[in-house]
Amino acid sequence: MTDTKTAPAGMPDVQASHDSRNMPIDKVGVKNITYPITLHSPRTGGKQHTVASVNMYVALPHYQKGTHMSRFLEVLNKHHDSIRSDDVMQVCRDMRERLEAEEAHLELRFPYFIDKKAPVTGSPGKLDIVVTFEATCTATTEDFIMGIKVPATSLCPCSKEISDYGAHNQRCEMEVKVRFTAGKFMWIEELFEVVEAQASSPVFAVLKRPDEKWVTERAYDHPKFVEDIVRDLAVALTSDARVAWFRVDSENYESIHNHNAYAVIEKDKR
């Protein structure tokens, strides 16, 4: 769509014309933009570069026919090299101002790599997790949510209890989204450690035979239903003063059923 600020004189601005249906739009904008992002790595003191899928939206008033789609990309391209993690809210503010909107929304979803050594041999590896940033701003309010999706192992307590030997286990994905208490925050790595600790066993990028033995026995010694996982996640985050609100879920990819197990808890501590 054409922006009147860059269009030749006399070209009509159809998007800015009046709409008579009296129906505001909650979110309108662009989705699935691929864009570089730079994040601080606190453990090394350096930076991690990755690529995000970006969604950008604004609220559209009932009287305006359309938004100016090109302006979203203009805002994004102000950060020509990459979006820095500490710039996310500023990008959201810039969107609201550039599109003259009452409310703006910015969503980023990207892979992030955690350095993890195998539990016995110490073999180095990188575990990829999915991280999300969600920013919303108005003239008077700002909201930021950080989320991570962490792979792990769960082992069925019922299977362990009723079987003469062995127990079936699953790969699980635990997803946690948090709002922070005013003036506080968590690094991605810190939230990752809280989440991963609630599974029957963590997973690793590299495992030698002694490591595989450790993982197998760790899961067997810590059996958990999907209900146990989300409750333990909720307990851990409830006790963390840095977290004001959270939503936790786990999807366990069953190994002996043709369906998955799922549970979710959401809590506002404010």
Task: Write down how long the chain is.
Answer: 270
Those residues with Cβ within 8 angstroms of residue 89's Cβ, 6 or more apart along the chain or in another chain: 135, 137, 142, 144
- When computed from its CA atoms, the radius of gyration of the chain, rounded to whole angstroms, is 23
Residue 232 belongs to domain spanning: 26-268
Q: For residue 16, give the nearest of 62, 86, 68 by alpha carbon.
A: 68
User: Does residue 14 lie within any of the structural domains?
Assistant: no
Which of 2-16, 108-122, 215-229 has the weakest average pLDDT?
Answer: 2-16
pTM, to two decimals: 0.90
User: Does residue 15 lie within any of the structural domains?
Assistant: no
User: Does residue 249 lie within any of the structural domains?
Assistant: yes
**195-254 residue pLDDT tens:** 999 999 999 999 999 999 999 999 999 999 999 999 999 999 999 999 999 999 999 998
Predicted local confidence at residue 256, as pLDDT: 87
Predicted local confidence at residue 7, as pLDDT: 54
User: Does residue 11 lie within any of the structural domains?
Assistant: no
User: Does residue 189 lie within any of the structural domains?
Assistant: yes
pLDDT category of residue 14 using cuts at 50, 70 and 90:
low
- If you average pLDDT over every residue of the chain, what do you get? 91
Strands 83-84, 25-41: pairing kind: parallel
Predicted local confidence at residue 1, as pLDDT: 42
Specify the long-range contacts of residues 203-207, CB closer than 8 Å, at least 24 apart.
Answer: 203/127, 203/151, 203/152, 203/153, 203/171, 204/116, 204/118, 204/119, 204/125, 204/127, 205/116, 205/125, 205/126, 205/127, 206/118, 206/123, 206/124, 206/125, 207/118, 207/123
User: Does residue 254 lie within any of the structural domains?
Assistant: yes
d(CA 116, CA 47): 17
User: Does residue 170 lie within any of the structural domains?
Assistant: yes
pLDDT category of residue 65 using cuts at 50, 70 and 90:
confident
CATH code of the domain containing 179 = 3.10.270.10
Per the structure, the count of domains in the chain is 1
User: Does residue 127 lie within any of the structural domains?
Assistant: yes
Q: Are 171 and 216 in contact (CB under 8 A)?
A: no
